[in-house]
Chain A
């Protein structure tokens, strides 16, 4: 008993320190970010199945790693991770296996939201709590709760930052290097970007699309630099493909423009901090969504509420913010950034 009391006191102390400042903490127990202590106390055991696309770029690898780390913090969570695949047929069968296993919850980042909707509906019908992460299903009944980044907001943030920096220069050439064009998330980002630019009289002069991988980023950027003789600003949707984009820019020897990244990788943030490359800013797309999904799944199954909210149940949707990281505030975001 005394042990338990000490643990509770320690947890309380941690929670108090977490509440005293607004600086995010990236270490410590499961109660960072101001969640009520009661929520972290072990409850009913929760078996969570986790499935995501193949970890073929840093952000996606970070999603699974953060989810595993989060589950490891709770003694009452048993996480079953099936490692990623980009074959929707195989991912569907992974979810079917979770249903057969009668897990309590499934945290699912689908390769294609629409394609995984039928099997997610099946899981919900079987009484399993499905938490949808990042790529949305096309039926509201397919998930108990959804954790989303703000793709549209990323575009808006990037566009607004570029407007601010190019103030007054209405003939500026703005280029865009998108991610996988077939994904709705890419379309949302581009839409937000175009809208924000339009608000200050700019538009996207050149647009190319890559596939989130370093190789595709290099190829797309090399083509873009050939196509546009003079550029003032580039927004690159994704910092993983950004490694390739930066390589292509270095090879071309061009430096007349500045670049804004996307997703928020640690190496881009270090570049911003050192101010020694084309990146002057990046827009965050949190790689901790999977970890948030794990937390929500646990709370929903145990019937707990989301601390700090008055609401009794876990919300239907949680949308994360897309802040702009610049040299001024980079230290705040670097600790939770992912390595590409």
Chain B
């Protein structure tokens, strides 16, 4: 009790600089200004899409195609926003997605799911993802292993374990109800997109409207000050990585639904896609400042980009160059905006 009040009081002291940076309170002011660049970029991309592909781009089905593509990587990116805002990094997300997808689709899991309910698959993926995140968090917070190294190790280990469990084979899901649920639409919006929207909204509330979020900013901005302010920095770090692990588990469920398979090759290079989306969204890689809205824009910019390139028969290589250019331009713009305010 007393510890809690001390923490809250300390946060109030800690809060003002961190919050001003995060733009959580002045949402309409600085946050809108910072997101303006992203909105402009997205609008420019859309104009580019309409000009080059016309009706093929500006079409409800095409919009849903973009959103479905964004959903899986989007859920991972929302989780990644928390870890990076908290001053960490996680390179193992793609591998955790692969491991969760494999573990959730083994014959044993499917057997149990067939005898009970398909929710077992979802539950397994979430538990596996969460456990991986927990291991990462404990290694980093209590084992004092640098996040970069700890998660690099998990990247190798988790994918290796996924290969061992699946025997490097693609596991096909034959659980009635599972695919039906995730293939469905709610009022014309695919379930996968609804999940992404819920995760993004939940993430926004958690980061900007709760004690957990404020602690995240404090821990990322200055861990020593946060510790002196009474926040259990290590425990909070473990929570952040576990949260990201859960997001990876959920992303694995979505990928399994989309492909009806679990495979050790799933989630290749998702770490780079997620980090890129978070960074161009305006979250500081050094921690202490983060925005869920920016991350969602970041994800949408990349998926819209690949959609426009697909519609115009342009190569993946050119797309990679454009992607790199966008990251550099976005970061340069952010630096200028940050200096001005």
Contact = CB atoms under 8 A, between A and B. Distances in A.
Interface stretch (B228-236, B261-269, B328-336): B261-269
A100 B59 contact: yes
A97 interface: yes
Interface in B157-203: 163, 166, 168-170, 172, 179, 183
B68 interface: yes
B259 A118 contact: yes
Contacts of B183: 118
Contact of A92 (B168, B259, B263): B259
A90 B306 contact: yes
Given A83-B316, A182-B168, A93 B260 contact: no
Nearest to B259: A115
A304 interface: no
B65 interface: yes
Given A82-B310, A83-B317, A138-B172, A97 B259 contact: no
Interface string B282-314: 000000000000000000000100110011011
B260 A118 contact: yes
B193 to A, nearest CB: 12
B56 A116 contact: no
B222 interface: no
A111 B267 CA distance: 13
B269 A80 contact: no
Nearest to B94: A87
Interface string A48-60: 0000001000000
Nearest to A117: B260
Contact of B62 (A90, A100, A112): A100
Contacts of A181: 168
Contacts of B306: 90, 93
A96 interface: yes
Interface residues of B, number: 39
A182 B168 CA distance: 4
A89 B66 CA distance: 11
A83 B315 contact: yes
A92 B316 CA distance: 15
Interface in A32-85: 54, 80-85
B138 interface: no
A182 B310 contact: no
A92 B311 CA distance: 14
B166 A87 contact: no
A89 B61 contact: no
B258 interface: yes
Interface in B249-288: 255, 258-261, 263-266, 268-269
Contacts of B314: 83
A112 B261 contact: yes
B259 A87 contact: no
Interface string A129-149: 000000000100000000000
A182 B307 contact: no
A199 interface: no
Contact of A118 (B66, B258, B317): B258
Contacts of B258: 89, 92, 118
A236 B249 CA distance: 37
Contact of A89 (B166, B169, B255, B307): B255
Interface string A105-121: 00000011111111000
A25 interface: no
Contact of A182 (B169, B268, B269, B315): B169
B172 A96 contact: no
B65 A115 contact: no
Nearest to A54: B316
B69 interface: yes
Contact of B69 (A93, A116, A180): A93
Nearest to A95: B65
Contacts of B122: none
A12 interface: no
Q: Which of A89, A92, A187 has the most CB of B within 10 A?
A: A89
Nearest to A115: B259
Interface of B: 56, 59, 61-62, 65-66, 68-69, 72-73, 163, 166, 168-170, 172, 179, 183, 255, 258-261, 263-266, 268-269, 303, 306-307, 310-311, 313-317
Interface of A: 54, 80-90, 92-94, 96-97, 99-101, 111-118, 138, 180-182, 184, 187
6 contacts: A93-B66, A97-B311, A112-B261, A115-B260, A118-B183, A187-B169
